[in-house]
Amino acid sequence: MSDVNSFQAAQEANYSKWVAKVAIDIDGARAFNPGDPVPDDPHVKNGIVSRDLVAGVNTKAAQAVTGQEA
């Protein structure tokens, strides 16, 4: 696997865990809209975005926000 493919796979894994349940601002600027993927590292993992504001992608809460089946 090339470095580019490894990087892409890592990014896909990082962005495939959480979605925003509500609009999320960071330092006064909109960072994520409802239904947007939220990266686990560093945003959720390091507490930049509270776990209360995101839903796991395969949950009913995520389905309610995105309209996609869990």
**Residue range 11-59, pLDDT digits in tens:** 999 999 999 999 999 999 999 999 999 999 999 999 999 999 999 999 9
Confidence band (pLDDT; 50, 70, 90) for 69?
confident
Phi, psi of 3 (to 5 degrees): -60, -40
> What's this model's pTM, rounded to 2 decimal places?
0.85
3-state class (DSSP) for residue 61:
helix
The residue extents of the domains of the chain are 3-66
Nearest alpha-carbon partner for 53 in 69, 30, 67, 13:
30
